[in-house]
Amino acid sequence: MVFGSFLFSFFTHRWLCWVGLAQQGFCSHLRPSVLLSAMAATKRQHRALTLEKKIEVINDFDSGCFTKTALATKYAIPKSSLTRILHDKEKLRSAFSSTQFGPKRMRLRLPEHEELEKCLVLWLRRARSENLPVTGRRHSKEEVAGS
């Protein structure tokens, strides 16, 4: 029966290692790389940078004081995102200097139907100035036609 309890403790030990309890001190024999891979299973939080921050990243890189790894760590973004920002730096700089995009903007997307967007904004402003409800269902065709 000693052999059976040995197998049970061996597999229990392996299961604890696999679950990731090694980082809590249950399994100290594991290599640090195994521990790091067990801890890396948590999902990284998504972090979107504003246009202003992206320009700041580009300027920091162009100053020559930071490496890509140091910049990625400083701004808490993946290295692949940093590479994409540096690849698109001319497009980002021209968008930042134009009046079309504000500095707090996250993406450089334009509307597909720009005229429709302008008409919708005008309608929304007029409806709000007349204290008309802009959310919820409209009750009749006359109300829609009248507004």
d(C-alpha 119, C-alpha 115), whole Å: 6
Q: Where in the chain is the domain with CATH 1.10.10?
A: 51-97
d(C-alpha 60, C-alpha 122), whole Å: 41
Report residue 142's pLDDT band, with 50, 70 and 90 as the boundaries.
low
Q: 3-state class of 22 per DSSP?
A: helix
Helices and strands, number each (H, E), in the chain: 8, 0
Residue with structure tokens 């197998």?
A: 7
Asked if CATH classification 1.10.10 holds for the domain at 51-97, the reply, yes or no, is: yes
**Per-residue model confidence as pLDDT tens digits over 34-84:** 445 555 557 777 778 888 999 999 999 999 888 999 999 999 999 999 999
Helix axis angle, 79-87 to 68-75, nearest 10°: 110
Examine the pLDDT at 101 and tell me if it is beyond 80: no
Residue 46 has what pLDDT?
A: 75
